[in-house]
Amino acid sequence: MLTKDQEVGPKGDCIVAVGLDNVGPDLPPELKRVVRSGQALLITIQAGEMAEKVKAQGHPSLTLDHPRDFVVRKSSFICGRTLAILADKAASDFSPDFVNRIKDPETEIKISITAR
């Protein structure tokens, strides 16, 4: 999960990034078009010099309209929070070193989404 919220509780073990600038209605129209095209996507999460890459799928039914959160799902479930489906990784699949890096509140996280 990716969220605009600045803080999350300790039970949020699937949260990859907080304090996002662009979520849902704020996404650039070109990115929405790519995600809704149904193309295969590559989501890169950069934390300092470390990165994790997630292969996922876009879908025409993605509304991308949740005002606070995005979820990249391993399943094919779609709702307003869904950014991509059929991902090859969940947050629990990230390397322990990467997880420790993103837990550090001083780490700036950059996320890019491209068609692959």
Query: Domains, the chain, ranges and CATH?
Result: 2-115 (2.60.120.630)
Higher pLDDT, 96 or 14: 96
CB 111 within 8 A of CB 46: yes
What's the pLDDT score for residue 34? 94
pLDDT digits (tens, 9 = 90+) for 20-62: 777 777 889 999 999 999 999 999 999 999 999 999 999 999 9
CA distances from 26 to 42, 67, 69, 87 (A): 20, 8, 11, 23
What's the pLDDT score for residue 27? 86
CB 57 within 8 A of CB 38: yes
Angle at CA 74, nearest 5°, toward 47 and 16? Answer: 25
Backbone angles phi, psi at 82, to 5 degrees: -75, 125
- Confidence (pTM): 0.87
Instruction: Measure CA 110 to chain center.
Output: 10
Give percent above pLDDT 70 in the chain. 91
